[in-house]
Structure 1
Amino acid sequence: MSTDLQQAGATPTPGQTPPTPGAVSRVSSGRPTWTLRLARGRLSGRVDVRTLVVLVSLTVVALGVGLVALGVGDYEVAVPDVLQALFGETTSVVRMVVVDWRLPRVLLALLLGAALGASGAIFQSMTRNPLGSPDIIGFNTGAYTGALVVILLLGGSYYDIAAGAMVGGLVTAGLVYALAYRGGAQGFRLIIVGIAISAVLASVNTWLIIKADLEKAMSAATWGAGSLNGLSWAQVGPVVIILVVLVPALVVLSRRMGILEMGDDAAQALGVRTEPTRLAMLVVGVALTALVTAAAGPIAFISLAAPQLARRLTRSPSVAMLPSAVLGALLLVVSDLAAQRVFAPTQLPVGVVTVSVGGCYLVWLLAREARRQ
């Protein structure tokens, strides 16, 4: 297999100097890009240099924060000992603390944060609005309703709760989509209808908790704050399996998100079936949201903030899937570390931290949008 890095734009016009292999060029937008060709030109793609640098930097920082989180706590472990524990070269006590107790939580923070960031990117691209995230539209609330029905009324296991969250999210999405559909599901109608459905479901959730037994109500309310406390390897496996199943769909949708943002007419002219694509985006985005809700409860504001922050860091004209997912992973692992250590030894639900920070971000975003208009 051969790799060929060539200047973006390829064929020179008469009188121009041929591009130098490996050079970085300026495209019409003024952004440096690389054109990557693999396997004799069978696979090619354009890589924005700034986006690549941001992705690598965010990934390194997220992994670094996760490494720190593996070492801090009531039982402190130095970073070299953490690395040795990950590779099986340490004492049984350190390995138990790092690998058995802390590693599942850090992995889930990274994976669930990435799922929230990707879900937010899908809905913000689909609605063409920075407020079009699943926690604003109401899909988080619908998934929480499905989980509450299982917890409080059916008394199901973890997998039953996961199935209930998935069904609740999908039913809510179907209802919002049906009510917002008028010759097509436009972004503004989706947001308005979603906010209304979310308010109704929030009332239903409150009523379910009030009518439940005290012990179940306290458990449901704590879980509803969004928490990674007490999660173990038993939750890691299902999360990884579902994400692996959804990754191919995310890859396909990420290529079509930018085309849809150009408008329905342009997208159809380029061969994209707009409504089926929107419906697929809706299902995949809700599946990601329901997955997080089933595993850790409704964690708010990560899906709202991550796509917009990633867009500003990469200076991209539109919301991108991969930067949003990586930044979502970073935001959640940092928030969870803060939830563990700010009031130590008391551990807060991570949702308390994300709501506190995300509330400030939402106020700033609304003020910024109001100034622009």
Structure 2
Amino acid sequence: MSTDFTMRKKTKKIRVGDIFIGGDSPISIQSMTNTDTRDVQGTINQIKRLEECGCDIARVAVVDRESAEAISKIKKEIKIPLVADIHFNYQLAIESIKNGVDKVRLNPGNLGDMEKIRVIASLAKEREVPIRIGVNSGSVDKEIISKYNGVTSDGLVESAISYANKLEYFGFDNILYSIKASSVPMTIQAYRKIAESTQYPLHIGITEAGTPSTGRMKAAIAIGTLLSEGIGDTLRVSLTGDHVEEVIAGKEILRALEIRKEGVEFISCPTCGRCQVKLIDIANEVETRLKDINKNIKVAVMGCAVNGPGEAKEADIGIAGGKNEFLLFKKGEVFGKFSENKIVDVLLNEIRKV
């Protein structure tokens, strides 16, 4: 993993299971299961799918004591750190910590009683379990909403910091923040503000972003903007759908910013009137089949000689269309000419040899 820290805001380094968030740690990708946590095997199976596609941290909803107790069973079968998502019932946070969870996510908008906070902080400190203060635009404290005449970036920040102050009052500072809204501008503004006033690591993302078709765009704009400004230590692309897509989208964002280098980088031209091959179909097929390949290479699929070996010469391997045929090239040097109906198989075979 290659990460440029020259512009990244330095934050406190916090341990979550066997990985770290903040400081000089790589930016991690998170997701959350949508199984019933009480369905232990189903939850394990989903987390394993997330692991296989590159997820670094998984979160589960803890809705009752049975789901809290399931944590100990789930942890035995997975490789990545596990986070308990807690709302309303502080006792579920206690039970989750006792069952070995690696991190707890609390929402200050629905869990603000000082005695409850004291009990959670005490056990979390004893077990060295970090707490993410997760503020969403839909669950800001009513008093703060009234103060700012609605949900605002200032209100999100104040809600998070005031809750951290309560944890700190009880001697707990193993803290992370997230302050997400479904609004991209509000989320960016909120993270910029909190980044100026804290050393705690920041979990970034857009809440309720939408389906993969629309949510990926909103998340990419918000997360990409923040990361390009050096803000953010871990991320989740929240999508309505298969959560493997969240991890894939997170990896794509990090690759686009050249924060992560591992994995296949796929590039293709937009096509124009010079194209004499079915490039769109071929590009889609190549991209789909590349998902099973784990190599640190750049692959290009280009439509004609203009956008071929010359313009894509930085690619490790690629193809460029002619009239019903393709050139195969590596680092801009042509290695052969193949028919359109064979080129995808030829390309994938060559990629496996790289």
TM-score range, shorter chain: under 0.3
More helix by share: 1
> What's the TM-score once normalised by structure 1's chain length?
0.20
More strand by share: 2
> What's the TM-score once normalised by structure 2's chain length?
0.21
* Higher RCO structure (Cα 8 Å, ≥6 apart): 1
